[in-house]
Amino acid sequence: MDPLSIVIYVAILLFSVIFHEVAHGLVADKLGDPTARYAGRLTLNPIPHIDLFGSILLPVFLLLINSPILFGAAKPVPVDYRNLRNLKWDMILVSLAGPATNFVLAVLAAIVYRLSPNLSNMGQELLFQTILLNLVLGLFNLIPIPPLDGSKILASLFGFLDRNWMYAILSMEKFGFILIILFLYSGLLNTVLIPPLNFLLNFLLGSNIGI
């Protein structure tokens, strides 16, 4: 990846992960938990959202192992699920808010991409990277590995059967860093993400684009 592409990637990454986290906090606030608002995290200012692992170490790690998929994360917004009006259903809604925001950003960028055939190469690259990165962020966060959003959705669904199962899944978040690194290093990330990623890219852009 050349220096210009890295700059574009980092700018889009910060933009995308901040919107992802703010969406979590906004939905939680609407559903009864003001923790993120009180912590000053419902802001687009990148400084409160920068995370050492997700915003810096993870992208660098993916670059070092020549991963075909590059992404990162912001510092998770604080959510106190005890404040939610309906714990299980509201946890699902809060967890879905982040990935859903990324998918919306990807769709909006794809609309502009397809309706602007005379864009410069820089403009096309910017839009394509926005689409690609937001699809990756949305799909990756839906994987049910703690502490990703998918694990909270899974925990909530199990909670309808037995609340102890829900808490057992949520308790695994302390091992999240190790689980994610193993998932990335083993190559399982590519196996899980690339097929749906390629499908969505082709669907949104109307052409046969593969990663």
Residue 21 designated active-site = yes
Average pLDDT along the chain: 86
pLDDT at 7 over 70: yes
Give the separation between CA 110 and CA 108, rounded to whole angstroms. 5
Q: What is the pLDDT of residue 184?
A: 73
Could you say which DSSP state residue 56 is in? I
Least trusted range by pLDDT, from 16-20, 45-49, 149-153, 173-177? 173-177
Residue 41 φ then ψ, to 5°: -100, -5
pLDDT band at residue 167 using 50, 70 and 90 as cut-offs: confident
Give the separation between CA 16 and CA 7, rounded to whole angstroms. 14
Question: pTM to 2 decimals?
Answer: 0.88
Give the separation between CA 5 and CA 134, rounded to whole angstroms. 16
Most confident of 82-91, 180-189, 200-209: 82-91
Triad 91, 34, 169: Cα angle to 5°: 30
Q: What is the pLDDT of residue 109?
A: 96
Q: Report whether 19 contacts 50 (CB < 8 A).
A: no
pLDDT at 77 over 90: yes
Set 12, 16, 20, 21: catalytic member: 21
Most confident of 1-15, 115-129, 191-205: 191-205
Q: What is the pLDDT of residue 211?
A: 66
Give the separation between CA 150 and CA 95, rounded to whole angstroms. 7
Instruction: Return the residue matching tokens 């075909």.
Output: 68
